[in-house]
């Protein structure tokens, strides 16, 4: 049974590895982007000089041959579902028994005038990084369009080379559709403190030509003309599925799949950024373009192909990011706008660079989400509290168990408990931070 996987990102590669782990089935992995799997989240660190490109490859080149995973660097030009046949741009035809579509995402472009000019690019692929590297030579000013995580990464990349950056964000505050106002304001301050010209409530209107087909400036919807030599388009991503829209596959925003990652076509599956769950679990999105969900989908699908039915279960939502030096973590549901049936406990350090937020159900007091800025919490501890719907007044005395900051860092659980006690007229104690690791292990064991 020959399984062909289109896309060698985290989803496709994980599926290939686990199919090999659990079977002797022939496996072929196709990608036109790169010959070997690499860590996409590390691209920015290659540009910043922290890593070499080869350092982003988790496996040595001989890994694939040793594990009998056949690699093809080519682009799939057409899919013949009736005959289970792929056509590649190198002229090769490839038959399959099982087909896995794991083609990831592409950057959003919204038909701005001038977006076809030289010096305009998104940041998603290895080719994008190479393009940005080429245009960074002698670059003095770049404009980044779009207020998401890729936008802040690109701004930090340019900033690391002393390239002036103007960051256009159409919302009132950076990432305010994800972060509550307090955390969003904290990130805004941090971006500006790092020398980035953050312009909120400002959208791109047009990209201006220098007369030679290259960028010379952008025009904003406020009427300002900003000279620049590069425009980074980071207005989100979408599933990379345009080439399949005339196929029999059922497609909405992504390729529709059931809980077992099966499409409407027998023996054809979709995983990762390009897959859209027909019925996502409560609190989860139909499409989640996140590294760890792609990995989980890949392993789940391999199990389905090799062993038997297993529904995809991503568990409790979590995510993390860095805004320059400011770390962000979230476990569970912490929406930008608080639902009417929930309350929140929010503590912020006087320096405005650290915070802890705990959301909880008003009626039961069960915790529903944890979010930290500049402070690290243990995933396993937070997930156990969330899964058990532990009441807030049981969580707070043990909050020290969640802290995962390095040794000798200052700890702030006492301040959070004091805030709670003052607000709700309680007198909760706080567990001693001594022997925390032993207490964490005991907590997780129980």
pLDDT for 337:
96
How many structural domains is the chain composed of?
Answer: 3
> Percent of the chain having pLDDT more than 70?
98
**191 belongs to a structural domain:** yes
Domain boundary among 306, 337, 355: 306
The span from the CA of 102 to the CA of 391, in Å, is 40
Q: Which residues contact 288 (CB under 8 A, 6 or more apart)?
A: 314
Stretch 334-360: mean pLDDT: 97
**231 belongs to a structural domain:** yes
Stretch 218-247: mean pLDDT: 96
Element (H, E) at 392: helix 392-395
Q: Are residues 258 and 179 in the same domain?
A: no
**338 belongs to a structural domain:** yes
CB neighbour burial string for 184-219, b if at least 16 within 10 angstroms, e if fewer: bbbbbebbeebebbbbbebbbbebbbeeeeebbbbb
**H/E/C letters for each residue in 42-59?**
HHHHHHCCCCCHHHHCCC
CB 208 within 8 A of CB 195: no
Q: Are residues 333 and 440 in the same domain?
A: yes
Domain boundary among 217, 235, 253: 235
Long-range own/partner contacts, residues 111-116 (CB < 8 A, 24 or more apart): 112/204, 112/205, 112/206, 112/207, 113/205, 113/206, 113/207, 114/206, 114/207, 114/208, 114/209, 114/215, 115/207, 115/233
Task: Judge residue 179's burial from the number of C-beta atoms within 10 Å of its C-beta, 0-12 exposed, 13-18 middle, 19 or more buried.
Answer: buried
* Residue ranges making up the domain that contains 229: 120-235
Does residue 416 have a pLDDT over 70?
yes
pLDDT for 429:
86
pLDDT for 127:
96
Q: Are residues 251 and 172 in the same domain?
A: no
Q: Are residues 257 and 329 in the same domain?
A: no
Does residue 133 have a pLDDT over 80?
yes
Q: Are residues 333 and 405 in the same domain?
A: yes
Q: Are residues 100 and 248 in the same domain?
A: yes
**172 belongs to a structural domain:** yes
Q: Are residues 243 and 100 in the same domain?
A: yes
CATH of the domain at 338: 3.30.390.30
Q: Which residues contact 433 (CB under 8 A, 6 or more apart)?
A: 400, 403, 411, 413
Q: What is the mean pLDDT of the chain?
A: 95
pLDDT for 435:
66
Stretch 227-234: mean pLDDT: 98
With cut-offs at 50, 70 and 90, classify the pLDDT of residue 434.
low
pLDDT for 283:
85
First to last CA, the chain: 43
Four-point Cα dihedral 99, 102, 103, 107, nearest 10? 160
**367 belongs to a structural domain:** yes
Q: Are residues 21 and 59 in the same domain?
A: yes
User: Mind listing the pLDDT tens digit for each residue in 27-86?
Assistant: 999 999 999 999 999 999 999 999 999 999 999 999 999 999 999 999 999 999 999 999
CATH of the domain at 22: 3.50.50.60
CB 411 within 8 A of CB 433: yes
**352 belongs to a structural domain:** yes
Q: Are residues 198 and 92 in the same domain?
A: no
Q: Are residues 11 and 83 in the same domain?
A: yes
Q: Are residues 409 and 346 in the same domain?
A: yes
Query: How many other CB atoms sit within 10 Å of the CB of residue 271?
Result: 32
**115 belongs to a structural domain:** no
Q: Are residues 177 and 199 in the same domain?
A: yes
**114 belongs to a structural domain:** no
pTM for the model: 0.92
Domain boundary among 206, 235, 264: 235
């Amino acid at each position: 049974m020959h399984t062909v996987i289109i896309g060698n990102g985290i989803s496709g590669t994980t599926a290939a590895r686990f199919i090999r782990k659990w079977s002797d089935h022939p496996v072929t992995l196709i990608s036109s982007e790169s010959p070997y799997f690499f860590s996409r989240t590390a691209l920015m660190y290659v540009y910043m000089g922290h890593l070499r490109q080869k350092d982003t490859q988790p496996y040595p080149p001989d890994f694939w041959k040793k594990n009998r995973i056949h690699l093809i660097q080519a682009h799939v030009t057409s899919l013949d579902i009736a005959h289970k046949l792929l056509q590649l741009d190198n002229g090769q035809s490839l038959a399959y028994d099982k087909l896995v579509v794991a083609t990831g995402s592409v950057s959003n472009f919204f038909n701005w005038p001038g977006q076809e000019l030289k010096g305009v690019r998104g940041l998603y692929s290895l080719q994008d990084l190479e393009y940005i590297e080429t245009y960074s030579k002698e670059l003095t000013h770049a404009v980044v369009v779009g207020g998401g995580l890729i936008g802040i990464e690109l701004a930090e990349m340019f900033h690391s080379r002393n390239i002036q950056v103007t960051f256009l964000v159409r919302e009132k505050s950076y990432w305010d559709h994800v972060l509550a106002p307090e955390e969003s304001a904290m990130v805004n301050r941090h971006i500006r403190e790092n020398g980035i010209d953050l312009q909120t409530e400002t959208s791109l209107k047009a990209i201006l030509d220098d007369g030679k087909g290259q960028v010379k400036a952008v025009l904003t919807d406020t009427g300002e003309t900003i000279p620049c030599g590069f425009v980074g388009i980071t207005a989100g991503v979408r599933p990379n599925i345009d080439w399949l829209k005339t196929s029999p596959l059922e497609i909405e925003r992504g390729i529709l799949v059931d809980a077992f990652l099966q499409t409407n076509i027998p023996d054809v599956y979709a995983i990762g950024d390009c897959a859209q769950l027909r019925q996502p679990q409560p609190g989860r999105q139909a499409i989640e373009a996140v590294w760890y969900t792609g990995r989980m989908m890949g392993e789940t699908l391999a199990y389905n192909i090799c062993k038997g039915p297993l529904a995809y279960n991503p568990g409790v939502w979590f995510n993390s990011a860095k805004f320059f030096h400011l770390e962000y973590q979230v476990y569970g549901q912490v929406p930008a706008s608080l639902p009417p049936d929930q309350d929140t406990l929010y503590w912020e350090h006087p320096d405005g660079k650290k915070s802890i937020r705990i959301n909880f159900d008003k009626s039961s007091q069960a915790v529903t989400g944890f979010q930290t800025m500049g402070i690290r919490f243990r995933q396993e501890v937070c997930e156990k509290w969330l899964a058990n719907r532990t009441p807030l007044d049981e969580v707070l005395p043990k909050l020290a168990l969640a802290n995962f900051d390095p040794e000798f860092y200052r700890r702030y659980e006492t301040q959070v408990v004091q805030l709670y006690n003052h607000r709700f007229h309680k007198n909760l104690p706080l567990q001693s931070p001594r022997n925390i690791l032993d207490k964490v292990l005991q907590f997780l064991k129980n």
